[in-house]
């Protein structure tokens, strides 16, 4: 069973968004 790369990217982004440490990085990258 192979996972769709798009799903991996989406789950990775969701994980980063849910991580408090990533908030400054996300706000800087916008």
- The two three-digit tokens of residue 24, written as one number: 């400054």
Q: Six-digit token pair at 16?
A: 């980063």
Per-residue pLDDT reduced to its tens digit, 1-30: 787 889 888 888 888 777 777 667 666 765
**In the prediction, which pLDDT does 26 show?**
61
Query: pLDDT at position 12, please?
Result: 83
Report how far residue 12's alpha carbon sits from residue 18's, in angstroms, rounded to the nearest whole number: 10
């Amino acid at each position: 069973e192979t996972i769709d790369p798009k799903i991996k990217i989406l789950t990775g982004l969701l994980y980063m968004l849910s991580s408090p440490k990533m908030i400054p990085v996300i706000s800087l990258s916008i």
